[in-house]
C-alpha cells in the first residue's frame, strides 16, 4: 500500500475548489496544505513536512516532493538501503500516510458500507487490507483498517487523503459515526527487516514477537502511548508504529542508536518502492487507479462480493469474469528498465511494424537489487498472462526480450 501524486490530478482546478468549498471549515483547515498541492501550488515552503523533516535534512536525506509532502527519497544509495532492509533492518518515515479514527455506534456498519473487505468480522487488534471503490467499481484507494476496543482506524495513502476524507463526508449521512483526521497530530514510522522485531521488542511493553501478522497492539514504546502493528510495505517482517508527534523524534533517535550495531539504516522512499515491487505490492497511481477495478488487479481476496453490501459492489458484479486483463510479473532478459507505460508485445509481431497491437502495458518497473534482474509489473491480456510466456517490451523505442512470471518476485523465508 502506497501512492504517487498523479492520482490527485484527475479533477480540474475549478472542480477541486468547488469540492473544497463544500468541506466543513474544520476539515478545510486541516487540508489547507494538501489543497495547495492539488491546485498546483508546490513550492517547498507550501509542502507538508513530517515531524522528522529536520532530521532528514541534517542527515543527508535527498528531499523530493511526494504526494504533497517534502520527503527523503534516499540518504546513501537506494541499493544500499534496500539491502539493509533485506539483510538487517531499515527505518522509514511514513508520517505522510493519512490516519483517520472512527468512533460511534454505527462505525462498523459505516465502514462495511465504505470498504470492500469485511469489517464486522475483525478481531480485536486485527488489521485488514481493503479497497475503497467508487460507484463504478474503480479504486479510490487501498487502505488498512484496524479494530481496537474504543475505535477503528484507517490508514490511507498520502496523496489520496483529501479525496478519501471528502468521500467519507459525502457518504456518512444516516450513520452515527465520528471521523477524526489524526494525520497532522500523530507520527508514523516503519521498522522493517529481519532484525526489526528484536529491536522494537526491547522498547515496548508488549511481546511484539508473539503479535501475529496483520495484528496491532495499543502499547507503550518506551514510555510513549503508541500503536504497534505487524504490518509493512517491503515484503519483510517488521512493524509500523503510530505515536503522538511530540514524542516521534525521540523514538526515531532511539531506534537509530540501538539499531546501529545490527546494521539498521534510515531509508527513503526510493528503496521502499524497489522493496514493494519485489514483493509485488500494488502502488496507487500505478497498479491501482479509478479506472482499474480490484478484481482485475488481482485483489479479489479483499473484495467480499457475496457476504456484504458496499459502494461499488453492483458495478463489480456486472463486470465480465474472468477479467480481460491480469496483473503479472515481467522479468527482462537484459538490464534495461521497463518504466511505467512501456508497451508489451507478444512474440511474433513484426518488430518494425508500427501497427502491431500491444498485449499489455507496464505499470511499475525497476532493477531488482535482490534478484539483480530488471523486473516489472504489468497488465496483459488474459490469454498471454501465463508464467513462462515469452514477450517483448518496448523500452524507449527498442524491443527487449522478457518473460512473464508469477508474482511475487521475492518471498522472504519464514
pLDDT in tens, 42-80: 456 689 999 999 999 999 999 999 999 999 999 999 999
Instruction: With a cut of 90, say whether residue 350 has pLDDT above it.
Output: no
Residue 39 gets which letter from DSSP? T
Distances (CA, A) of 62 to 37, 72, 83, 234, 339: 20, 5, 18, 20, 22
Going from N- to C-terminal start, the domains of the chain cover 5-278, 324-405
Same fold, 5-278 and 324-405: no
Q: Could you tell me the CATH superfamily of domain 324-405? A: Aminomethyltransferase beta-barrel domains (2.40.30.110)
Distance separating alpha carbons of residues 80 and 92, to the nearest angstrom: 14
pTM summary value: 0.88
How confident is the model over 107-150, as pLDDT tens digits? 999 999 999 999 999 999 999 999 999 999 999 999 999 999 99
How confident is the model over 141-197, as pLDDT tens digits? 999 999 999 999 999 999 999 999 999 999 999 999 999 999 999 999 999 999 999
> Where does 5-278 sit in CATH, by number?
3.30.1360.120
| Cell 523530493, located at residue | 64
Alpha-carbon torsion 262, 268, 271, 275, what sign?
positive
Amino acid at each position: 500500500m502506497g501512492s504517487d501524486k498523479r492520482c490527485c490530478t484527475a479533477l480540474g482546478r475549478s472542480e477541486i475548489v468547488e469540492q473544497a468549498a463544500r468541506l466543513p471549515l474544520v476539515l478545510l483547515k486541516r487540508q489547507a496544505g494538501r489543497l495547495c498541492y492539488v491546485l498546483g501550488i508546490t513550492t517547498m515552503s507550501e509542502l507538508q513536512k513530517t515531524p522528522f523533516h529536520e532530521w532528514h535534512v541534517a542527515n543527508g536525506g535527498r528531499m523530493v516532493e511526494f504526494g504533497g509532502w517534502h520527503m527523503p527519497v534516499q540518504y546513501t544509495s537506494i541499493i544500499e538501503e534496500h539491502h539493509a532492509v533485506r539483510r538487517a533492518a531499515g527505518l522509514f518515515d511514513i508520517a505522510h500516510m493519512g490516519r483517520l479514527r472512527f468512533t460511534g455506534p454505527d462505525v462498523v456498519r459505516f465502514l462495511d458500507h465504505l470498504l470492500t473487505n469485511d469489517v464486522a468480522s475483525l478481531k480485536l487488534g486485527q488489521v485488514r487490507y481493503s479497497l475503497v471503490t467508487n460507484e463504478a467499481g474503480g479504486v479510490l484507494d487501498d487502505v488498512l483498517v484496524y479494530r481496537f476496543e474504543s475505535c477503528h482506524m484507517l490508514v490511507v495513502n498520502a496523496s489520496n487523503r483529501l479525496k478519501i476524507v471528502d468521500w467519507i463526508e459525502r457518504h456518512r449521512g444516516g450513520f452515527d459515526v465520528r471521523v477524526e483526521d489524526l494525520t497532522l497530530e500523530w507520527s508514523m514510522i516503519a521498522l522493517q527487516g529481519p532484525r526489526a522485531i528484536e529491536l522494537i521488542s526491547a522498547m515496548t511493553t508488549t511481546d511484539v514477537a508473539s503479535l501475529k501478522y496483520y495484528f496491532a497492539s495499543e502499547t507503550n514504546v518506551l514510555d510513549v502511548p503508541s500503536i504497534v502493528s505487524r504490518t509493512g510495505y517491503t515484503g519483510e517482517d517488521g512493524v509500523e508504529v503510530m505515536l503522538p508527534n511530540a514524542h516521534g523524534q525521540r523514538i526515531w533517535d532511539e531506534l537509530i542508536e540501538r539499531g546501529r550495531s545490527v546494521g539498521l539504516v534510515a531509508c527513503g522512499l526510493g528503496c521502499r518502492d524497489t522493496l514493494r515491487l519485489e514483493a509485488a505490492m500494488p502502488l496507487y497511481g500505478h497498479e491501482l487507479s479509478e479506472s482499474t477495478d480490484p478484481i482485475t488487479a488481482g485483489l479479489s481476496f479483499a473484495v467480499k462480493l457475496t457476504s456484504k453490501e458496499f459502494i461499488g459492489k453492483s458495478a463489480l458484479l456486472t463486470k465480465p469474469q474472468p477479467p480481460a486483463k491480469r496483473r503479472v510479473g515481467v522479468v527482462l532478459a537484459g538490464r534495461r528498465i521497463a518504466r511505467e507505460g512501456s508497451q508489451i508485445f507478444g512474440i511474433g509481431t513484426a518488430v518494425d511494424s508500427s501497427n502491431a497491437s500491444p498485449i499489455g502495458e507496464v505499470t511499475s518497473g525497476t532493477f531488482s537489487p535482490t534478484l539483480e534482474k530488471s523486473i516489472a509489473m504489468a497488465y496483459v491480456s488474459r490469454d498471454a498472462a501465463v508464467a513462462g510466456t515469452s514477450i517483448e517490451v518496448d523500452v524507449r523505442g527498442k524491443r527487449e526480450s522478457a518473460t512473464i512470471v508469477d508474482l511475487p518476485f521475492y518471498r522472504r523465508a519464514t
